[in-house]
Amino acid sequence: MEVANKHVTLKTHIEGAPKESDFELKTSPLALSLDPGSGEMIVKNLYVSIDPHQLNQMKSCSLLQKTSTGFDGIALGEEIEAYGVAKVVASDNVDFEKGDVVMGVVTWAEYSKIRRNGMIRKIDPLGFPLSYHLGILGYSGLTAYAGFFEICKPKRGEKVFVSTAAGSVGNLVGQYAKLHGCYVVGCAGSKRKVQLLKEKLGFDEAFNYKEETDLNSTLKRYFPDGIDIYFDNVGAEMQEAAVANMNTFGRVAVSGVISEYADPGKRAAPNMLQVIFKRIKIHGFLAADHVGLFQDFISTTSHHLRNGELCPLEDISDSLDSIPFAFTGLFRGDNIGKKIVKIA
Amino acid sequence: MEVANKHVTLKTHIEGAPKESDFELKTSPLALSLDPGSGEMIVKNLYVSIDPHQLNQMKSCSLLQKTSTGFDGIALGEEIEAYGVAKVVASDNVDFEKGDVVMGVVTWAEYSKIRRNGMIRKIDPLGFPLSYHLGILGYSGLTAYAGFFEICKPKRGEKVFVSTAAGSVGNLVGQYAKLHGCYVVGCAGSKRKVQLLKEKLGFDEAFNYKEETDLNSTLKRYFPDGIDIYFDNVGAEMQEAAVANMNTFGRVAVSGVISEYADPGKRAAPNMLQVIFKRIKIHGFLAADHVGLFQDFISTTSHHLRNGELCPLEDISDSLDSIPFAFTGLFRGDNIGKKIVKIA
């Protein structure tokens, strides 16, 4: 049996902010049968994740030099890898069978072929919507959980600043920090997001960075007693202002630098003299290094979810065709919470 | 009894690189008697330390805003604090008596008055020259020891890069790293220093940064397998190049940023995307937080010194009058190793 598999590909390598015209929808025939012994699987994608860091794989420099982005670059016309929740439709892998619901690295496509050693695992929905396994119970959630608890090592009462606080990771960091007894301020790019952070997610304060002219004094205003933890999703001048307002032994967890992805000329240049005398730690991390925390993360987070103490923030679009618009929207600030596209 | 106490003061606040004319030698009468109950001491300085970070206290912004440098600013005409080795000549402090040899915070002066809670302690010379207690057995040594072992957590065989490697701290970091079984490359600012690092201190490689036009490729040449540890004494573009050449889980210990002290426009802007995907830790520190290591540091270091496995690198000038020239020389790269002025 063969299907016509619609998928998103890259028409041109991207420099700067992505445009919808950088992408192309293609349809290729895909046989739903597998070579015995191949260890492969074919999955039908239900939801795929739309993440800002994917832009780094779409740059031409990524093809030339893996070390410039840390990820394999995507060749033009190739399928684009992404996290997804999917259903197995054919399997030559002994660990999976037809009908299994899985999550892991798929592609922006209706169907994805998963290699023998593909990063994929079965999921137990735990009674939650499947989309949660891409956000609050997935990689975004683990990034927030590991980054906040393992990298930042927060203490009750500490003062926490989160950038891109209405984004997939930031909103969860703020919520975990509140549950942990911290004072939390978030920044975001619209009035609506700021309201949501304060009214729905329980942030102590929030501000729209687009309305601020001097981030240094903005942070001084929100943190008269200084910042202990900065969870950085944005990089550049916001990181500089956070370091300038940081207390001694402050910690910066660098989870993402979205403002630098689309503008390679943008760089954070924190004052190193302050880094020294305030003994600040600036620490880049990936959730992948903290999979040992996964069970702990899932049980803590699902417990809070059931008690209504954590609010899942999802922004779901419909159909594969909407992926280019959804992806470019991340850089326009369209999304509130985890951006997901429902495929089937 | 009263003495004419010669001391160095600041004639003008310094912006940019320091000039000898920024300083002034003054003589004031000092009574060698103390008010009973004051808890004070008067010490006669034998050696004083000349350190680049002192420049940060000499800027006018330091007076306005302690948080901009982390240190109290120095008012014009005031005595200038510095580490020193001294002999007690009068004491109202029960813990010290006349004739004790001490080390700690004194001033650039012939005699210093030490307050009740002054940072000062008696020293056991351990059979070494007294000047060692400002360098290899003093604060510089502890900075190298704590920074390398506690902050960088080195493993045998790791690749270590040290900037300002012929400076007071850098030369010791390189020597500790060699004793620990690491591959060590240092950079310095002259042919003579480079030779000394390789021939006398046992660095695997060393280079003169002034002869290099592209630090990124320079480091690629010396570290074909990447850098695991960067001990940063200089900041700015060298830090950026080190981060660009760093391996995953690399550590940057930021001990000093001499190139940024004299030029506030200079800033390190390491690529944060690389900081994330290589999970790099950039960590500012002060030796003062690691005094718990002091006994361990002293016993390890004096043991290596006695076995001829560590080479003390001192650069000693004579007389108080030479302090302005010695201090400004730090920023011209005059000194090789720990810069000390012998007062008496």
Tell me which residue in A269, A273, A283 faces B69 most closely, judged by beta carbons. A273
- What is the rounded radius of gyration, in angstroms, for the C-alpha atoms of chain A? 20
Report chain A residues whose CB lies below 8 A from the CB of B285: 276, 279
Residue of B nearest to A226 (CA): B67
Distances (CA, A) of A48 to A8, A27, A113, A267, A297: 12, 18, 14, 30, 21
Fold entry, domain B139-288 = Rossmann fold (3.40.50)
- DSSP assignment, residue B337? B
Residue B339's closest CA among A182, B323, A198?
Answer: B323
| Binary contact (A281, B277; C-beta < 8 A) | no
Domain regions of chain B by residue span: 2-135+313-342, 139-288
CA distance A290 to chain B (A): 12
Give the distance, in angstroms, between the CA of residue A258 and the centroid of all CA atoms in the same chain.
10
Q: Per the structure block, which two tokens stand in for A229?
A: 């933890």
What's the CA gap between A340 and A82, in Å, rounded?
11
Q: What is the pLDDT of residue A264?
A: 80
This complex has an ipTM of 0.94
Residue of A nearest to B261 (CA): A273
Tens digit of pLDDT at every position of chain A (344 positions): 899 999 999 999 998 999 999 999 999 999 999 999 999 999 999 999 999 999 999 988 765 555 455 567 899 999 999 999 999 999 999 999 999 999 999 999 999 999 999 999 999 989 999 999 999 999 999 999 999 999 999 999 999 999 999 999 999 999 999 999 999 999 999 999 999 999 999 999 999 999 999 999 999 999 999 999 999 999 999 999 999 999 999 999 999 999 999 888 899 999 999 999 999 999 999 999 999 999 999 999 999 999 999 999 999 999 999 999 999 999 999 999 999 999 99
Q: What is the pLDDT of residue A63?
A: 54
CATH of B2-135+313-342 given 3.30.413.10, 3.90.180.10, 3.40.50.2300, 1.10.150.20:
3.90.180.10
| Binary contact (A278, B272; C-beta < 8 A) | no
% of residues, chain B, pLDDT over 90: 92
- Give every residue of chain B whose pLDDT is below 70, as ranges: 62-71
| Binary contact (B257, A273; C-beta < 8 A) | yes
What's the CA gap between B45 and B37, in Å, rounded?
23
What does the DSSP assignment read for A53-117? GGGGGGSHHHHH-GGGTSSPPPPTTSB-EEEEEEEEEEE--TT--TT-EEEEEEESBSEEEE-TT
8 A C-beta contact, residue A197 and residue A222: no
CB atoms within 10 A of CB B241: 25
CA distance A233 to chain B (A): 11
| Binary contact (B254, A275; C-beta < 8 A) | yes
As a 3-state breakdown, chain B gives helix, strand, coil percent values, each rounded to 5, of 35, 30, 40
- DSSP assignment, residue B16? S
Fold entry, domain A2-135+312-342 = Quinone Oxidoreductase; Chain A, domain 1 (3.90.180)
Interfacial B residues in 53-72 facing A (CB < 8 Å):
56, 67-71
Q: Which of B61, B153, B273, B281 to mutate to test the interface with A (most CBs of A within 10 A)?
A: B273
CA distance A319 to chain B (A): 31
CA distance A249 to chain B (A): 9
| Binary contact (B277, A71; C-beta < 8 A) | yes
Q: What is the pLDDT of residue A215?
A: 98
CA distance B140 to chain A (A): 15
8 A C-beta contact, residue B282 and residue B255: no
Q: What is the pLDDT of residue B252?
A: 98
8 A C-beta contact, residue A287 and residue A143: yes
Exposed (0-12), middle (13-18) or buried (19+): which is B1, by Cβ within 10 Å?
exposed
Interfacial B residues in 198-237 facing A (CB < 8 Å):
232, 235
What's the CA gap between A270 and A250, in Å, rounded?
13
As a 3-state breakdown, chain A gives helix, strand, coil percent values, each rounded to 5, of 35, 30, 35
Q: What is the pLDDT of residue B151?
A: 98
Residue A173's closest CA among A196, A148, A155?
Answer: A148
List CB contacts of A1: < 8 A, sequence separation 6 or more: A31, A32, A33
Using DSSP bridges, classify how beta strands A338-342 and A314-318 pair: parallel, antiparallel or unpaired: parallel
Type and span of the H or E element at A175:
helix A170-179
Query: Can you give the three-state secondary structure of B105-125, one letter per residue?
Result: EEECECEEEECCCCCEEECCC
Residue A253's closest CA among A291, A282, A287?
Answer: A282
